[in-house]
C-alpha cells in the first residue's frame, strides 16, 4: 500500500511539474502550491527510505531504487526552485504565505547536488532573514549543510551524525568561540550547553549511557 501511495504521489508531482512548465497558472500567483507539491514528493520519499533503512539488508534493492527516486526529485525540485526564484524572488510570508517560506527552505537544503544553486539560495535566505521574512535558524541550517558539502567544518553546529540511537557526534566546527557567537545570534545555547541538553534528551528517550561529542573528522559530502 505504501509503495502505491509513493508512486501516486510521484505521478501527481510530475504531472504538476509538467503543467507548471507550461505556465498554467502563472507561477508567481501559485508560488505556495508549487512549493507544496515539491515538498510533498520530497518528504514522501524520505519517509519511505526511513522506514526501509530500519532493515537495510532485507530492503537493499528497494533502498537503492528509492534513493534513485530521491536524486531525481531533488534535481527536479532544485531546477524548479531556481526558476521560481528568478521569476518571483524568494518567497515572502506576507505575499506567498508562511508555508511557502518553509517549503522553499526545505527544497534548498536538499539541493545538495547543485552547490551553485544552493549558494544562491543561501544569499536569498540571508536577505530574507535580515528583512524578517524567515527565521534565523533557516540560514544557520543551510549554511552548515553547504559547508559540509564543500568539505569544510560547519559554522553553527546544526549537523550531527547518529552513530547509533544513543551515540551522537556533532560534526566538526570551524571555531568553537565563533560558533558560540553565531549560535547566540540565532537564540541557541552554547555548544557546551547543547551537548548537555542533547545528552539529557537521549537519557529521557531511554538511552542508559548516552554519548554525545563534537567530532574531529569531517564526514563525506551529503548528497542525499
pLDDT for 148-163, tens place per residue? Answer: 999 999 999 999 999 9
Structurally, the chain folds into a number of domains equal to: 2
127 and 171 in a single domain? The answer is no
Assigned domain for 141 exists: no
Classify residue 151 by burial, with Cβ atoms within 10 Å: 0-12, 13-18, 19+: exposed
Q: Is residue 6 part of a domain?
A: yes
Collapsed DSSP state (helix, strand, coil) of residue 113: coil
List the 211-214 sheet strands across, edge first.
160-164, 167-170, 211-214
Whether 178 and 130 map to the same domain: the answer is no
Residues 103 and 169 in one domain: no
Pair 153, 188: CB distance under 8 Å: no
Q: Which residues of the chain have pLDDT under 50?
A: 8, 19, 21-25, 224
Domain presence at residue 44: yes
> What is the C-alpha separation between 119 and 123, in angstroms, rounded?
7
Do residues 147 and 155 touch, judged by C-beta distance below 8 A? yes
- The 10 Å Cβ neighbour count of residue 64 is 10
Residue 47, in any domain of the structure: yes
**Residue 197: other Cβ atoms inside 10 A:** 12
In sequence order, the 6+-apart residues with CB closer than 8 A to the CB of 158 are 137, 140, 141, 144, 145
Q: Considering the domain boundaries, does residue 192 fall inside one?
A: yes
Query: What is the model's pTM?
Result: 0.84
**Residues 44 and 130 grouped into a single domain:** yes
Contact between 97 and 32 under an 8 Å Cβ cutoff? The reply is yes
Segments forming the whole domain that contains residue 184: 160-214
Q: Cell 563525506, residue?
A: 220
Check residue 189 and give its pLDDT: 97
Considering the domain architecture, whether residues 14 and 83 belong to the same structural domain is answered as: yes
Q: What is the pLDDT of residue 4?
A: 52
Which residue has cell 529521557? Answer: 204
pLDDT, position 75: 96
Q: What pLDDT shows up at residue 22?
A: 47
- Taking the C-alpha atoms of residue 17 and residue 184, their distance in angstroms, rounded to an integer, is 40
Amino acid at each position: 500500500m505504501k509503495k502505491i501511495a509513493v508512486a501516486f504521489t510521484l505521478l501527481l508531482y510530475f504531472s504538476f511539474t509538467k503543467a507548471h512548465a507550461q505556465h498554467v497558472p502563472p507561477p508567481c500567483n501559485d508560488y505556495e502550491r508549487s512549493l507544496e507539491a515539491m515538498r510533498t514528493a520530497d518528504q514522501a520519499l524520505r519517509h519511505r527510505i526511513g522506514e526501509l533503512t530500519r532493515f537495510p539488508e532485507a530492503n537493499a534493492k528497494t533502498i537503492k531504487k528509492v534513493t534513485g527516486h530521491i536524486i531525481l526529485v531533488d534535481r527536479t525540485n532544485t531546477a524548479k526552485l531556481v526558476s521560481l526564484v528568478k521569476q518571483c524572488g524568494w518567497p515572502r510570508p506576507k505575499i506567498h504565505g508562511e508555508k511557502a517560506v518553509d517549503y522553499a527552505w526545505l527544497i534548498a537544503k536538499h539541493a545538495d547536488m547543485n552547490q551553485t544553486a544552493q549558494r544562491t539560495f543561501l544569499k536569498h535566505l540571508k536577505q530574507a532573514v535580515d528583512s524578517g521574512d524567515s527565521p534565523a535558524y533557516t540560514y544557520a541550517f543551510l549554511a552548515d549543510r553547504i559547508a559540509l558539502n564543500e568539505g569544510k567544518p560547519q559554522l553553527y553546529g546544526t549537523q550531527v551524525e547518529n552513530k547509533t540511537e544513543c551515540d551522537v557526534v556533532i560534526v566538526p566546527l570551524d571555531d568553537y568561540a565563533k560558533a558560540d557567537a553565531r549560535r547566540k545570534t540565532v537564540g541557541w545555547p552554547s555548544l557546551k550547553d547543547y551537548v548537555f541538553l542533547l545528552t539529557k534528551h537521549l537519557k529521557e528517550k531511554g538511552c542508559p549511557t548516552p554519548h554525545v561529542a563534537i567530532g574531529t573528522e569531517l564526514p563525506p559530502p551529503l548528497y542525499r
